[in-house]
Protein backbone atom coordinates (compact mmCIF):
# COMPACT_ATOMS: atom_id res chain seq x y z
CA UNK A 1 0.00 0.00 0.00
CA UNK A 2 1.23 3.49 -0.88
CA UNK A 3 0.92 6.69 1.13
CA UNK A 4 1.09 10.01 -0.73
CA UNK A 5 1.23 13.62 0.45
CA UNK A 6 0.53 16.62 -1.80
CA UNK A 7 1.48 20.03 -0.45
CA UNK A 8 -0.66 22.68 -2.10
CA UNK A 9 -3.24 19.92 -2.42
CA UNK A 10 -6.22 22.28 -2.52
CA UNK A 11 -4.83 24.25 -5.46
CA UNK A 12 -5.91 23.65 -9.01
CA UNK A 13 -2.88 21.53 -9.94
CA UNK A 14 -2.72 19.74 -6.58
CA UNK A 15 -6.41 18.84 -6.63
CA UNK A 16 -6.18 17.72 -10.26
CA UNK A 17 -3.22 15.49 -9.39
CA UNK A 18 -5.13 14.11 -6.39
CA UNK A 19 -8.11 13.15 -8.54
CA UNK A 20 -5.86 11.41 -11.07
CA UNK A 21 -4.09 9.46 -8.33
CA UNK A 22 -7.40 8.34 -6.83
CA UNK A 23 -8.66 7.23 -10.24
CA UNK A 24 -5.45 5.62 -11.45
CA UNK A 25 -5.35 2.51 -9.31
CA UNK A 26 -2.04 0.97 -8.15
CA UNK A 27 1.02 3.24 -8.41
CA UNK A 28 4.51 2.00 -9.36
CA UNK A 29 6.65 4.28 -7.19
CA UNK A 30 10.09 4.89 -8.75
CA UNK A 31 9.64 1.96 -11.12
CA UNK A 32 8.80 -0.53 -8.36
CA UNK A 33 5.93 -2.97 -8.14
CA UNK A 34 2.52 -1.27 -8.47
CA UNK A 35 0.82 -0.87 -5.10
CA UNK A 36 -2.66 0.42 -4.23
CA UNK A 37 -3.05 3.91 -2.81
CA UNK A 38 -3.66 3.64 0.92
CA UNK A 39 -3.86 7.28 2.00
CA UNK A 40 -3.68 10.62 0.22
CA UNK A 41 -2.94 13.60 2.49
CA UNK A 42 -3.66 17.04 1.03
CA UNK A 43 -1.90 19.88 2.83
CA UNK A 44 -2.95 23.47 2.12
CA UNK A 45 -3.88 26.77 3.73
CA UNK A 46 -7.15 26.67 1.79
CA UNK A 47 -9.97 24.13 2.22
CA UNK A 48 -9.79 21.05 0.03
CA UNK A 49 -12.52 20.81 -2.66
CA UNK A 50 -15.61 18.99 -1.33
CA UNK A 51 -15.30 16.00 -3.67
CA UNK A 52 -11.82 15.31 -2.29
CA UNK A 53 -12.58 16.18 1.34
CA UNK A 54 -15.32 13.55 1.37
CA UNK A 55 -13.23 10.77 -0.15
CA UNK A 56 -12.52 7.86 2.16
CA UNK A 57 -8.81 7.72 1.27
CA UNK A 58 -8.20 11.48 1.56
CA UNK A 59 -6.98 13.26 4.68
CA UNK A 60 -7.19 17.06 4.52
CA UNK A 61 -4.63 18.96 6.61
CA UNK A 62 -5.36 22.68 6.68
CA UNK A 63 -2.69 25.20 7.66
CA UNK A 64 0.52 26.92 6.61
CA UNK A 65 3.02 24.24 5.56
CA UNK A 66 5.97 25.93 7.23
CA UNK A 67 4.08 26.40 10.49
CA UNK A 68 2.85 22.80 10.49
CA UNK A 69 6.34 21.41 9.92
CA UNK A 70 7.99 23.77 12.41
CA UNK A 71 5.47 22.68 15.04
CA UNK A 72 6.34 19.04 14.44
CA UNK A 73 2.97 18.12 12.95
CA UNK A 74 2.92 14.64 11.47
CA UNK A 75 1.94 15.83 8.01
CA UNK A 76 4.30 13.37 6.29
CA UNK A 77 3.46 10.31 8.38
CA UNK A 78 3.44 7.14 6.27
CA UNK A 79 4.38 8.98 3.07
CA UNK A 80 6.10 7.00 0.33
CA UNK A 81 5.73 9.88 -2.15
CA UNK A 82 5.57 13.62 -1.44
CA UNK A 83 4.53 16.00 -4.21
CA UNK A 84 5.73 19.44 -3.11
CA UNK A 85 3.56 21.90 -5.04
CA UNK A 86 2.89 24.53 -2.35
CA UNK A 87 4.46 27.89 -3.22
CA UNK A 88 4.00 31.62 -3.39
CA UNK A 89 3.73 32.59 -7.05
CA UNK A 90 6.01 34.84 -9.09
CA UNK A 91 4.17 38.15 -8.78
CA UNK A 92 3.71 37.68 -5.04
CA UNK A 93 7.42 37.01 -4.58
CA UNK A 94 8.40 40.18 -6.43
CA UNK A 95 5.94 42.27 -4.44
CA UNK A 96 6.75 40.69 -1.06
CA UNK A 97 10.30 39.35 -0.78
CA UNK A 98 9.78 38.01 2.75
CA UNK A 99 6.69 36.05 1.70
CA UNK A 100 8.61 34.33 -1.08
CA UNK A 101 11.53 33.46 1.18
CA UNK A 102 9.20 32.06 3.82
CA UNK A 103 6.83 30.15 1.54
CA UNK A 104 9.23 28.97 -1.15
CA UNK A 105 12.58 28.59 0.59
CA UNK A 106 12.13 28.06 4.31
CA UNK A 107 9.09 25.82 3.93
CA UNK A 108 11.02 23.71 1.40
CA UNK A 109 13.98 23.45 3.80
CA UNK A 110 11.65 22.31 6.57
CA UNK A 111 9.96 19.80 4.26
CA UNK A 112 13.25 18.23 3.17
CA UNK A 113 14.45 18.01 6.77
CA UNK A 114 11.18 16.29 7.72
CA UNK A 115 11.58 13.84 4.82
CA UNK A 116 15.09 13.03 6.06
CA UNK A 117 13.76 12.46 9.58
CA UNK A 118 11.30 9.86 8.25
CA UNK A 119 14.25 7.57 7.55
CA UNK A 120 12.28 5.79 4.81
CA UNK A 121 13.89 7.22 1.64
CA UNK A 122 10.66 8.70 0.24
CA UNK A 123 10.30 9.92 -3.33
CA UNK A 124 9.96 13.73 -3.32
CA UNK A 125 8.62 15.36 -6.48
CA UNK A 126 9.38 19.08 -6.45
CA UNK A 127 7.52 21.45 -8.76
CA UNK A 128 10.10 23.89 -10.09
CA UNK A 129 9.71 26.35 -12.95
CA UNK A 130 11.17 27.66 -16.18
CA UNK A 131 11.70 30.85 -14.16
CA UNK A 132 15.04 29.33 -13.05
CA UNK A 133 16.28 30.38 -16.50
CA UNK A 134 16.87 33.94 -17.61
CA UNK A 135 19.20 36.26 -19.44
CA UNK A 136 21.69 38.85 -18.22
CA UNK A 137 24.54 40.81 -19.75
CA UNK A 138 27.14 38.29 -18.67
CA UNK A 139 24.98 35.23 -19.32
CA UNK A 140 22.49 35.78 -22.17
CA UNK A 141 19.49 33.52 -22.46
CA UNK A 142 19.91 31.25 -25.50
CA UNK A 143 17.24 31.19 -28.18
CA UNK A 144 16.39 27.63 -27.17
CA UNK A 145 16.74 26.27 -23.63
CA UNK A 146 18.07 22.71 -23.57
CA UNK A 147 18.77 20.17 -20.84
CA UNK A 148 22.31 21.46 -20.37
CA UNK A 149 21.39 25.18 -20.26
CA UNK A 150 22.59 26.76 -17.01
CA UNK A 151 19.95 28.42 -14.81
CA UNK A 152 20.27 32.17 -14.37
CA UNK A 153 17.07 33.32 -12.65
CA UNK A 154 16.04 36.97 -12.94
CA UNK A 155 13.32 37.02 -10.29
CA UNK A 156 13.04 36.18 -6.61
CA UNK A 157 10.66 33.34 -7.47
CA UNK A 158 13.15 31.86 -9.94
CA UNK A 159 16.00 32.11 -7.42
CA UNK A 160 13.93 30.41 -4.73
CA UNK A 161 12.91 27.61 -7.06
CA UNK A 162 16.51 27.02 -8.17
CA UNK A 163 17.76 26.89 -4.58
CA UNK A 164 15.02 24.34 -3.88
CA UNK A 165 16.24 22.22 -6.80
CA UNK A 166 19.79 22.27 -5.46
CA UNK A 167 18.74 21.40 -1.91
CA UNK A 168 16.68 18.51 -3.24
CA UNK A 169 19.63 17.27 -5.30
CA UNK A 170 21.95 17.33 -2.27
CA UNK A 171 19.48 15.54 -0.01
CA UNK A 172 19.27 12.93 -2.78
CA UNK A 173 23.06 12.69 -3.06
CA UNK A 174 23.27 12.07 0.67
CA UNK A 175 20.72 9.27 0.47
CA UNK A 176 18.10 10.97 2.64
CA UNK A 177 15.40 10.81 -0.04
CA UNK A 178 14.88 10.28 -3.76
CA UNK A 179 14.37 13.72 -5.25
CA UNK A 180 12.78 14.45 -8.63
CA UNK A 181 12.58 18.13 -9.62
CA UNK A 182 10.28 19.03 -12.53
CA UNK A 183 10.54 22.40 -14.26
CA UNK A 184 7.02 23.33 -15.30
CA UNK A 185 6.25 25.78 -18.11
CA UNK A 186 3.43 28.27 -17.69
CA UNK A 187 0.31 26.15 -17.17
CA UNK A 188 -2.61 27.34 -19.27
CA UNK A 189 -5.55 27.36 -19.26
CA UNK A 190 -5.91 27.38 -15.47
CA UNK A 191 -9.51 27.13 -14.27
CA UNK A 192 -10.92 29.16 -11.40
CA UNK A 193 -10.12 32.67 -10.31
CA UNK A 194 -7.04 34.74 -11.27
CA UNK A 195 -3.98 34.52 -9.02
CA UNK A 196 -0.99 36.80 -8.46
CA UNK A 197 1.37 34.98 -10.82
CA UNK A 198 3.01 37.23 -13.41
CA UNK A 199 2.01 34.61 -15.97
CA UNK A 200 -1.63 34.57 -14.81
CA UNK A 201 -2.80 36.61 -17.77
CA UNK A 202 -1.82 33.72 -20.06
CA UNK A 203 -4.84 31.91 -18.64
CA UNK A 204 -6.98 34.98 -18.04
CA UNK A 205 -7.01 36.15 -21.66
CA UNK A 206 -8.62 32.82 -22.58
CA UNK A 207 -10.62 31.86 -19.49
CA UNK A 208 -12.41 35.17 -18.96
CA UNK A 209 -13.49 35.77 -22.59
CA UNK A 210 -14.81 32.21 -22.81
CA UNK A 211 -17.00 33.12 -19.82
CA UNK A 212 -18.11 36.36 -21.48
CA UNK A 213 -15.94 38.52 -19.22
CA UNK A 214 -13.32 41.14 -20.06
CA UNK A 215 -9.63 40.33 -19.53
CA UNK A 216 -6.50 42.45 -19.35
CA UNK A 217 -3.40 41.63 -21.39
CA UNK A 218 -0.34 43.40 -19.93
CA UNK A 219 2.12 42.52 -22.72
CA UNK A 220 2.36 42.94 -26.47
CA UNK A 221 0.75 40.61 -28.98
CA UNK A 222 4.10 39.25 -30.18
CA UNK A 223 5.22 38.23 -26.68
CA UNK A 224 6.13 34.54 -26.81
CA UNK A 225 5.68 32.04 -23.98
CA UNK A 226 6.28 28.37 -23.25
CA UNK A 227 2.91 26.80 -22.41
CA UNK A 228 1.81 23.46 -21.01
CA UNK A 229 -1.77 22.36 -20.45
CA UNK A 230 -2.86 21.15 -16.99
CA UNK A 231 -2.97 17.60 -18.34
CA UNK A 232 0.64 17.75 -19.58
CA UNK A 233 1.81 19.28 -16.29
CA UNK A 234 0.11 16.55 -14.29
CA UNK A 235 1.58 13.88 -16.57
CA UNK A 236 5.05 15.26 -15.90
CA UNK A 237 4.56 15.14 -12.13
CA UNK A 238 3.26 11.57 -12.26
CA UNK A 239 6.14 10.54 -14.51
CA UNK A 240 8.59 11.91 -11.93
CA UNK A 241 7.00 9.78 -9.21
CA UNK A 242 6.85 6.56 -11.21
CA UNK A 243 10.06 6.55 -13.29
CA UNK A 244 12.87 4.25 -12.24
CA UNK A 245 16.13 5.84 -11.13
CA UNK A 246 17.78 4.63 -14.33
CA UNK A 247 15.07 6.13 -16.54
CA UNK A 248 15.01 9.42 -14.61
CA UNK A 249 18.71 9.74 -15.24
CA UNK A 250 20.26 11.79 -12.46
CA UNK A 251 19.73 14.38 -9.73
CA UNK A 252 19.30 17.47 -11.92
CA UNK A 253 15.84 18.81 -12.70
CA UNK A 254 13.91 17.65 -15.76
CA UNK A 255 12.57 20.46 -17.94
CA UNK A 256 9.15 19.55 -19.27
CA UNK A 257 8.33 19.95 -22.96
CA UNK A 258 6.38 23.09 -23.81
CA UNK A 259 4.41 24.56 -26.68
CA UNK A 260 5.76 27.91 -27.89
CA UNK A 261 3.01 30.41 -28.64
CA UNK A 262 2.70 34.17 -28.94
CA UNK A 263 -0.16 36.08 -27.37
CA UNK A 264 -1.38 36.68 -30.93
CA UNK A 265 -1.41 32.90 -31.54
CA UNK A 266 -3.45 32.38 -28.37
CA UNK A 267 -6.01 35.00 -29.31
CA UNK A 268 -6.33 33.61 -32.82
CA UNK A 269 -7.09 30.20 -31.30
CA UNK A 270 -9.59 31.86 -28.96
CA UNK A 271 -11.35 33.46 -31.93
CA UNK A 272 -11.50 30.12 -33.76
CA UNK A 273 -13.01 28.50 -30.69
CA UNK A 274 -15.45 31.20 -29.58
CA UNK A 275 -15.69 33.79 -32.33
CA UNK A 276 -14.59 37.40 -32.73
CA UNK A 277 -16.85 38.58 -29.89
CA UNK A 278 -14.70 36.67 -27.39
CA UNK A 279 -11.50 38.15 -28.77
CA UNK A 280 -12.96 41.65 -28.52
CA UNK A 281 -13.14 41.28 -24.73
CA UNK A 282 -9.36 41.77 -24.37
CA UNK A 283 -8.18 45.09 -22.92
CA UNK A 284 -4.56 45.95 -23.71
CA UNK A 285 -3.10 47.60 -20.59
CA UNK A 286 0.73 47.49 -20.59
CA UNK A 287 2.44 46.52 -17.32
CA UNK A 288 6.22 47.00 -17.60
CA UNK A 289 7.03 44.82 -14.57
CA UNK A 290 4.96 41.88 -15.83
CA UNK A 291 6.46 42.33 -19.29
CA UNK A 292 9.97 42.31 -17.80
CA UNK A 293 9.36 39.09 -15.87
CA UNK A 294 7.73 37.29 -18.80
CA UNK A 295 10.51 38.39 -21.18
CA UNK A 296 13.10 36.94 -18.79
CA UNK A 297 11.62 33.44 -19.10
CA UNK A 298 12.50 31.09 -21.97
CA UNK A 299 9.90 30.68 -24.68
CA UNK A 300 11.49 27.84 -26.67
CA UNK A 301 12.38 24.51 -25.10
CA UNK A 302 14.20 21.43 -26.36
CA UNK A 303 13.44 18.82 -23.70
CA UNK A 304 15.28 15.71 -24.89
CA UNK A 305 15.46 14.15 -21.44
CA UNK A 306 11.71 14.52 -20.94
CA UNK A 307 11.10 13.13 -24.42
CA UNK A 308 13.05 10.00 -23.47
CA UNK A 309 10.64 9.62 -20.56
CA UNK A 310 7.73 9.65 -23.02
CA UNK A 311 6.62 13.23 -22.34
CA UNK A 312 5.58 15.56 -25.17
CA UNK A 313 4.25 19.11 -25.53
CA UNK A 314 0.68 19.95 -26.45
CA UNK A 315 0.30 19.82 -30.24
CA UNK A 316 -1.24 23.30 -30.61
CA UNK A 317 -3.03 25.90 -28.53
CA UNK A 318 -6.39 25.05 -30.03
CA UNK A 319 -6.15 21.63 -28.40
CA UNK A 320 -5.40 23.33 -25.06
CA UNK A 321 -8.59 25.42 -25.36
CA UNK A 322 -10.63 22.36 -26.33
CA UNK A 323 -9.32 20.50 -23.29
CA UNK A 324 -10.27 23.41 -21.04
CA UNK A 325 -13.77 23.61 -22.49
CA UNK A 326 -14.32 19.86 -22.16
CA UNK A 327 -13.30 19.92 -18.51
CA UNK A 328 -15.22 23.01 -17.44
CA UNK A 329 -18.53 22.66 -19.27
Task: For residue 26, give the nearest of 57, 59, 6, 1 by alpha carbon.
Answer: 1
Domain count across the chain: 1
From 16, 7, 19, select the one nearest 192 (Cα to Cα): 16
Residues pairing with 300 in the sheet:
none
State the pLDDT confidence band at 25, using cuts at 50, 70 and 90. Answer: confident
Beta strands in the chain (DSSP E): 2-7, 37-44, 58-62, 81-84, 123-129, 178-184, 186-187, 215-217, 224-228, 254-255, 259-262, 282-284
Taking residues 143-151, report their average pLDDT: 96
Active site residues: 157
255 contact partners, CB below 8 Å, separation of at least 6: 130, 145, 147, 183, 301, 303, 305, 306
Which structural domain, as residue segments, surrounds residue 22? 2-186+229-257
CB 168 within 8 A of CB 161: no
Mean pLDDT of 224-236: 97
Q: Characterize the bridge pairing of strands 282-284 and 215-217.
A: parallel
Task: Give the pLDDT confidence of 75-111 residue by residue, as tens digits.
Answer: 998 999 999 999 998 889 999 999 999 999 999 999 9
> What pTM was computed for the model?
0.95
pLDDT at 72: 80
Decide if 192 is inside a domain. no
Residue 90 lies in a domain: yes
Instruction: For 181-201, write each residue's pLDDT tens digit.
Output: 999 999 999 998 877 788 899
Question: For residue 209, is it within any domain?
Answer: no
Query: The domain that contains 76 carries what CATH number?
Result: 3.40.50.720
Tell me if 310 is assigned to some domain. Answer: no
Can you tell me the mean pLDDT for 278-284?
A: 97
Q: For residues 245 and 142, what is the distance between their CA atoms, to the nearest angstrom?
A: 29
Amino acid sequence: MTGIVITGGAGFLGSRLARELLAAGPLAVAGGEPRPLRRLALVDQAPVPPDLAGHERVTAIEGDLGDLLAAGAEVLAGADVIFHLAAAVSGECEADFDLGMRANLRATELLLAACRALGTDPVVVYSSSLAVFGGSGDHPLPDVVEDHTLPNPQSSYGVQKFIGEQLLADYTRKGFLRGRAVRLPTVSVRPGRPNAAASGFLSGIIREPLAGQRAVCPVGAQTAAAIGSPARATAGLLCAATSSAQAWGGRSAVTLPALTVTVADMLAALERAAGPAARSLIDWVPDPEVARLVASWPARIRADRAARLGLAPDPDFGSVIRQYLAETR
